[in-house]
Structure 1
Amino acid sequence: MVVVDRDGLVSHWSTGARRLFGAAKEEAIGRAAVDLLPVSGALPEEDETTSYGRLASYDGLGPDLETSLDGRLSYPAAGRARLTVPGGEREAIPLQGRRRVDVLWWAYPLVGPGRERLLVLAADAAGFGPDDPDSSNEDAAVERIAPGFALHTDFPGAEELAGRLPEILPSMSVGESARIVAQVLELGYPVLEFSQNDRVPVTPDWGVARRAERKARREHVARALAEGRSAPADLVDEVEDLEYAAVRERLEFLNDVSGRIGTSLDLSRTIIEVSKAVVPRFTDVAGTYLREQVVAGEGFPDGVPDTTTMWHRVALEHTDEPGRWDDVVPVGEAMPFPAHTPFFQCMTSGEPVLVPRISEQMGHAIASQFEKRDIRPLITGRSMLIVPLKARNVVLGFMILLRHPERVEFNDMDRVTGAELAARAGLVLDNARMYTYQESVAETLQDSMLPHIPPRMAGCDIATRYLPGTLLGRVGGDWFDSVKLPGARTALVVGDVMGHGLNSAAMMGQLRTAVQTMAALDLPPAQLLRKLDDLAQRLGDTYLATCLYAVYDPIAGELHLANAGHIPPVLVRADGGRSELLDLPTGAPIGVGGVPFESVRVRVEPGDRLVMCTDGLVEVRGEDIGVGLATLCESAAHPAASMDDACDTIIRALNTRGGRKDDVALLMARLNGIEPDDVAEWRLRPDPAEVGRARAVVREQVHEWGAARLADSAELMVSELVTNAVRHSHGRPVALRLVRGDTLLCEVDDDDHELPNLLSAGPEDAVGRGLRVVSMLAREWGASRTGAGKTVWFELTLPRR
């Protein structure tokens, strides 16, 4: 490549020009181009200087058609000539004398404010056979040829060559190919530039010939210096140029790899990216092994790995025929490596291990690790480089890189390149590992914080949804819960701790536990929120949360609700499907203190649905919350085949709006109620004689409900509970109630506030066996205080109806 300025003097002379024309850079710069190059037909004569002025109006792709054919200046100009130049071997040390070269050349105008006016490209045309100029003519003149084989010229064979143009273009779209060919053929000038990205299967050292060439020049320079003579300056320059090119190409390779890996924090995807980044450009086979704990997203002990460390093969990329490696070394296999293997040396030292060629002996030693599988044909004779994948001085895994036997073997420069590649890949993998670990911790924390609510409670069906506000944390302060209460009642809770992240999740866990505990004491809703507010103030100033607490009584058909700064719930009526926001006293958030809480009672019918959610579902930044509440009401009223479908309908309607950043907790309860025929109640006098009556009415009722096989157990347990109630009663009647739902529930109420304890009764003890019998026979049992005393209850599993 040569650049000529406006005065016709050479201003740039490349290394290739020096080798082709025999003139050193110092000799060429500043000389007239016509003395060095066959471009006299491309340069203006003295009276044609105005033609250069016309070049300023060109569009950058070439001159207009009129100027190209005006007979005086034709750009781009091209030709072929045989020249006599200073002698020298084409790929070795320049020698004295002169030699003949056959040159193809092209000249292009440069448009711009600088002094450069002509770009000349020249190529060695030796070996083109019959198309060479007549070698007998020592003074062969420039042979003019048409640029781009334009159809409007008289160039022989133009039609045939034009038909072959699409074949030599790289793979591209039909439209792009047609545009390029049309421009070349119709306008008569070439396309100067287009972009095409392809993965080229070459080594960063870029080939045997180039490596041998660089090695020969380096050895000649070293030999000259050893003999006490100076090496030719141009040869030293060539050696430096080649070394510089090799380093630059390796840096470009590493930069390209760095851009290919780490596009996500997904560990599996990162592993695949690392493997594909080096095949086939750097190696032909790449196997990636990671420590077992890295794959599992766990931590691992300090210190170097040992022979017991399990390594998982997580990826295998190769250029062999499909399936050749899959059965022998399948992805997903885990294995340890003995101390005598190069793999163990790499993982314990943390340094690359280079094996120029795998001998038969080494191939046999490696193959011994694979039971009933012979991998020797796959590895023997190949060059192997093992590089550690480490980050923060911890070895996470290693990569086994293999090259085909016919490919140049790995060398020390490849070892350095591989180490740098592994260092970058190790850091990316460690980031993905840490993200996977933190994500696992966050999900575990969130799962432990949020309850797994059964889909059916006494008299109601429940469905829930939780959506994290961001993929980064996956934990937040939103929660929902349900608590079984005496009297077949169910407490429904939705709350939202202000803030995000782990701190909010920790606060949420404490508040949720407190609500569970106080709900089990059967505190009225307003009183429960009052106690929760007191607790939050004792825990600290940062504990602020909203909370909506509702108690559903399926026998009475009633909701008892209290609100602490939360958005109101939606009640969807079964009759007509209309929905409404319940008008509740808002109250202040939990943790503010000094604000009273009020509760309200709402009558409900079987089939009504209660929808409770956090504000993250309905609130969008920059939008009035009333819009979200209206959308919630509308979507909640939409008919659905199941409770899960109804929840999904609400989520789709509200979560598709942009701008949501907060967590979302959604709880929906279908209030089925309990029919009067499924409830039986009796009042018993605090008299021991009533125990027999209690046994009789329970046996009769259980038989009437078609659960005769439960009669004996129910009768025995009722006898124990009523006996205790009569014994500890202070004079008020004892209440006995049976409720048939998914289970058979039995409750005994008395006016004693002392809760019974499960005792260990000895052979001589007269008391302490009643609750032991209940705990062994019942599906579930419990006791809780009430306003008038206490309730002791048990459940038995009913046979399917």
Structure 2
Amino acid sequence: MQADTYADGPAPFDPRALAALVDGTMAGVGVLDTGLRFLYVNRALERLNGIPAAEHLGRTVSEVLPGVDAREDMLRAVLADGKPREITSSGFTAAAATVRRYWHGAYHRLEFDGRVVGVAGIVLEIMTSDKGQRELEQARRHLNLLDTAAARIGTTLDMDTTCAELVDLVVPGLADLATVEVFPPDVAPPVRPAPPGVLRLRRAALRAVPALRDELDGFGLTGEYIDYQEGAAVQRCLAVNQPVVENLTTDEQLVRSAPGPERLAAYRALGMHSAVIVPVTVRSGPLGILGLIRAGDSPVFTDEDVVIARELAGRAAVDLDHARRYAHEHTIALELQRSLLSEPRPPHPHIEIATRYLPADRSVMVGGDWFDVIPLRDGRHLKAMGDVMGHGVEAAVAMSHYRSLLRMLADDELPPHRILEQLDRMVERSGLDRAATCLLAVVDRIGGACEVASAGHLPPVLIDPRAGARVCEEMTVGPPLGTGLGGYRTTMVEFDPGTVLFLYTDGLVERRGEDIDASVDRLRELTLPAGGSLERLLDDVLERFGPGAEDDIAVLASRTRPTGEEPDPAQAGPA
């Protein structure tokens, strides 16, 4: 360094004058060595950092100020190329540990006798306005809401869960209270009709900050049906498919925004003063609304708040539409399957039958499992257990198709393998693209033997009260129905009177990571004493094998009573 030059020539350098200048300035001044360790800190920088000067010396910037983005990469660049740089940094210091601060600094390289000895910096704090800080923090909150929406909304195919995820996201970040209200599903049980001109929605989700939770009873709770009068904010929002923003400073404004005048007291108790109603819509039409409310000391909604609310509602609408479609299809399929799986009527007073159907223990579509019992001539009867591949309405409809064809073919008094052959050909010609497994068993009138044939289905189990259970491994298993391959065979199976014939679908035994033969082999452990309840047997089977099932389960148990034995209503299934 060299002394300043004056008009009369060079002035002698006085270090004390330089120290007085540096220590007296309001700008923070610091000198770092080539390792970016502090060599000197003036009083202003000491105050800015909130750390005594002595605690700076010999330590790097990141060691002294771990909460500050000091841009050490830029400082190293100054050392490397000697070009001065202006650097803006921000962070938290001991002088204000909870408030983010911003600094602007000018840095240049120090050289002595041609040797680089360090970096000198002059730093000024940038004072942003309170309004600017609030806007910056609000922008950060909004960005965070949008960033987390994809991960937090639509985690399931349940509409109410999706609605709850939406209100959980926006409270308290965007509102003090939030609701999602949806149109009742068209497959739900009917509700009382709404009066003319009234819009009825179901409140699917509600969330409020803790300070408002004690006042929610009069506001309306989750699960209620809310009637909105003509001219209410919700009706106006859905009529134009645009957000409605209201500052509710008078009773007249509150009543206009409410479902009806009776809610005025509840709205006043909440202290609500600003509301935004946002439509939740998809291309096919409106699904409902997202309602946001601010109360007490919270600021009114801004235009940016409304933009963010609409963006979140739009994202949630896609997930809600998926959930609505799933619920619609699931309900139809379930009702169809229930109607088709009505309890079979015993073909003869001396035949006992018990059945169960258990959906998989998770939110999946119902499957195509079915069972049937069909009376034949000469006291015989046909038992069937089948499983259409796939899930949903299509599988349930295909199951109905299979069952109808089977009943028609059973009237021809054919042996089981011939029924399967004709059923296979008919399904192939019909164009039905759902294959199915099926097990048929024709039981003679005294119940001492049966003819069985399988189209890709698992073998039945015979439960003898004295000898225990055995799996009918001797039968031949043909290909599933719908392939057109044929090749089915009938096997005669004999058993003692009182033996239970147990049929099931693969959901009962199939487990991930386990060989199916080992799974079926566990059915040999089934027991039932003479005269034991078939209903209780199936309860025990499902309790033991049902947990952990990944597919639907259908089971059927039957037996023939000895001739002359009167039926016991407590033992038999419903007629």
What's the CA shift for 1:108? 10
Structure 1 spans left out of the alignment, 5+ residues: 1-20, 61-74, 77-104, 126-191, 194-205, 211-232, 299-305, 679-739, 743-797
Residues 429-468 of structure 1 aligned to structure 2 (within 5 Å): 429-454=320-345, 458-467=349-358
Deviations 1:381-424 (A, max 9, x none): 62222222223363211133222243322222222232223223
Q: 1:337 aligns with which of 228, 233, 238?
A: 228
1:250 matches 2:142: yes
Deviations 1:479-521 (A, max 9, x none): 2111233455432111234566655544432221111223245
State the match for 1:37 in structure 2: 45
The aligned residue for residue 472 of structure 2 is: 582
- Secondary structure (helix, strand or coil) at the match of 1:495 reads strand
Q: Alpha-carbon deviations, 1:746-792, whole Å to 9, x = none?
A: xxxxxxxxxxxxxxxxxxxxxxxxxxxxxxxxxxxxxxxxxxxxxxx
Q: CA RMSD in A?
A: 4.8
How far has the Cα of 1:631 moved from its partner?
0.5
Distance of 1:654 and 1:437 partners within structure 2:
30
Which residue of the partner structure matches residue 397 of structure 1? 288
Deviates more, 1:311-320 or 1:536-545: 536-545
CA distance in 1, matches of 2:296, 2:187: 32
Counterpart of 1:669 in structure 2: which amino acid? Answer: S
Contact map agreement 1:297 1:436 (CA 8 A) in 2: no
Residues 1:672 and 2:564 are matched in the alignment: no
Count of residues in correspondence between the two structures? 491
Secondary structure of 1:528's counterpart equals helix
Letter aligned with residue 54 of structure 2: G
- Give the direction of change, closer, same or farther, for the CA distance of 1:457–1:407 in structure 2 (3 Å limit): farther
Q: Give 1:269's match in structure 2, choosing from 155, 161, 167.
A: 161
**Percent identity over paired residues:** 28
Matched, 1:325 2:338: no
Give 1:264 deviation, angstroms.
Answer: 2.2
Inter-CA distance 514–280: structure 2 relative to 1 (3 Å threshold): same
Aligned with residue 414 of structure 1, among 284, 301, 305: 305
Query: For the residues of structure 2 that align with 1:625 and 1:462, how far apart are their CA atoms?
Result: 27
Q: CA deviation at 1:365?
A: 4.2
3-state SS, counterpart of residue 292 of structure 1: coil
Q: 2:494 aligns with which of 602, 615, 631?
A: 602
1:603-639 superposed Cα distances (whole Å, 9 cap, x missing partner): 4313x21111234434456644432232011135699
Quickly say closer, same or farther: Cα 1:583–1:408, change in 2 above 3 A. closer
- Cα deviation for residue 433 of structure 1 reads 1.9
Mapped to 1, the partners of 2:367 and 2:66 lie a distance apart of: 68
Amino acid at match of 2:273: R
* Shift in alpha-carbon separation, 1:632–1:340, aligned structure 2, 3 A: same
Could you tell me how far 1:647 is from its partner in structure 2?
A: 2.2
1:282 lines up with 2:190 in the alignment? no
Whether the 8 Å CA contact 2:346–2:373 is kept in 1: the answer is no
Higher relative contact order (CA 8 A, sep 6+): 2
Distance change (3 Å), C-alpha of 1:320 and 1:373: same
How far residue 460 of structure 1 moved from its aligned partner, in angstroms, is 2.6
CA deviation vs aligned residue, 1:137-188 (integer Å, no higher than 9, x gap): xxxxxxxxxxxxxxxxxxxxxxxxxxxxxxxxxxxxxxxxxxxxxxxxxxxx
Deviation digits for residues 659-679 of structure 1, max 9, x if unmatched?
Answer: x65554321113324417x7x
Paired residue type of 2:305:
D
Higher deviation after alignment, 579-588 or 369-378: 369-378
Cα distance in 2 between the residues matched to 1:376 and 1:615: 56
Q: Which of 448, 463, 487 pairs up with 1:558?
A: 448
**Shift in alpha-carbon separation, 1:640–1:634, aligned structure 2, 3 A:** farther
Q: How far did residue 445 of structure 1 move?
A: 3.6
Partner of 2:535: 644
Name the structure 2 match of 1:569.
Answer: 460
Q: Distance in 1 between matches of 2:264 and 2:68?
A: 62
Which structure 2 residues correspond to residues 699-710 of structure 1 after superposition, within 5 A? none
Residues 1:507 and 1:113: Cα distance change in structure 2 (over 3 Å) = same
Match of 2:203 among 289, 309, 313: 313
1-side partners of 2:251 and 2:282: how far apart? 34
- The one-letter code of the counterpart of 2:452 is A
> What is the CA distance between 1:538 and its match in structure 2?
3.0
AA in 2 matched with 1:558: G
For structure 2, list consecutive stretches of 5 or more residues without a partner in the other structure.
Answer: 1-24, 47-51, 80-89, 101-124, 191-195, 570-574
Higher strand share: 2
User: CA offsets per residue over residues 10-36 of structure 1, 9 Å max, x none?
Assistant: xxxxxxxxxxx95499x99x9986244
Structure with greater Cα Rg:
1
Q: Write the distance in 2 (CA, Å) between the matches of 1:460 and 1:537.
A: 34
**Pairwise CA distance, 1:242:** 6.1
Tell me how far apart the structure 2 counterparts of residues 108 and 269 of structure 1 sit (CA, whole Å).
Answer: 41
Describe the superposition over 1:562-599 as per-residue Cα deviations: whole angstroms up to 9, x where unpaired: 3034332111112x251122355415334545536335
Q: Is the 8 A contact 1:619 1:625 kept in 2?
A: yes
Q: Is the 8 A contact 1:363 1:380 kept in 2?
A: no
Letter in 2 for 1:595: G
1:351 equivalent among 224, 239, 242: 242
TM-score of the aligned structures, taking structure 1 as reference length: 0.52
CA separation in 1, counterparts of 2:67 and 2:434?
Answer: 78
Shift of 1:430: 2.4
Distance 2:258 2:130 in 1: 45
Q: Deviations over 1:246-286 (max 9, x none)?
A: 32232123334554433322222222232233333332222
* Residue 360 (structure 1) shift: 1.9
